[in-house]
Amino acid sequence: MPTRKSSARWEGGLKGGKGTFKGETGAISGQYNFSSRFEEGVGSNPEELLATAEAACFSMALGGGLEVNGTPPTYIDTQAACTVRPQLEGGFKITEMALTVSAAVPGIDDAKFQEIVQRTLTGCPVSKALHGNVDITVSATLVN
């Protein structure tokens, strides 16, 4: 299996500094700073990237689970919201990842769909990496 790579460069201190990141393919890149991460400033941040990774991985894993069930999806849309919070002991921690999923899946009832959605939370590689460290929730709607 391949190993994927990315790089980041940070210049300066925490609040006055700035950074850039770039994936090895060049398909993802951007700038980030204190304001874009912990306030509402312009730019990206690690939480946005983590939410993107979780949404993409979850959608793909759910598609695989639905296909194994014999009900491949027409589409799966996943929104991921990653929350970072200050900690009482200092610093920050990523505390929550909330997924909102809608999918068109011909030939499946909602109960089976929800079962496969829940199973995907323990089968998706990114979810596995977050398990035990981040509270992951999912709200899934079957659109038929």
Indicate if the pLDDT at residue 40 is higher than 90: no
What digits encode the pLDDT tens for the residues 96-117? Answer: 999 999 999 999 999 999 999 9
Which residue intervals of the chain bear CATH 3.30.300.20? 46-142
What digits encode the pLDDT tens for the residues 67-98? Answer: 999 999 999 999 999 999 999 998 899 999 99
Right CATH number for 46-142 from 1.10.10.10, 3.30.300.20, 4.10.410.60, 3.10.350.10? 3.30.300.20
Residue 69: count of CB within 10 angstroms of its CB: 16
Beta-bridge partner residues of 139: 100
Q: Which residues contact 61 (CB under 8 A, 6 or more apart)?
A: 120, 123, 124, 125, 127
What mean pLDDT comes out for the span 34-61? 94
